[in-house]
Amino acid sequence: MSLNFDEYQTAAAFTADYARMGKNPNYPALGLAGEVCEHIKKIERDDAGIITRKRRHALKKEIGDVLWYIATLCTELDLSMADVAQGNLDKLADRHARGVIHGSGDER
């Protein structure tokens, strides 16, 4: 099965259930980092920097959760995931074309 971003966003919204839904971007925003970073940390600490099959499987699940939070945050902000993704690719392509892909600052 293959989904595009907007299809995923619609399906994710169907499973969303939290306080002040539709007026609460804080909830999905706060879910963005946690568990993925924990697993990456454990790769370094416990697995000698090697991504084991078990760890890869756990990361796949956690990255899926992050995707859900991104979709839900987009819904809260009345944004299309597809538009956000395309806008990001356009921004990066422009930076690459101008030779400013490296560095810092939002307005490069």
**Per-residue pLDDT tens for 52-98?**
999 999 999 999 999 999 999 999 999 999 999 999 999 999 999 99
| pTM summary value | 0.85
CA distance 25 to 21: 8
pLDDT tens track for 22-40: 999 999 999 887 888 988 9
Task: Give the pLDDT score at 106.
Answer: 72
Task: Give the pLDDT score at 20.
Answer: 96
Q: Is the pLDDT of residue 104 over 80?
A: no
Find out whether 5 and 73 touch, Cβ atoms under 8 Å. no
- Cα separations in angstroms, 90 against 17, 94, 97: 33, 6, 10
Report how far apart the first and last C-alpha atoms of the chain are (Å, whole number). 38
For the chain, the structural domain boundaries read 5-80
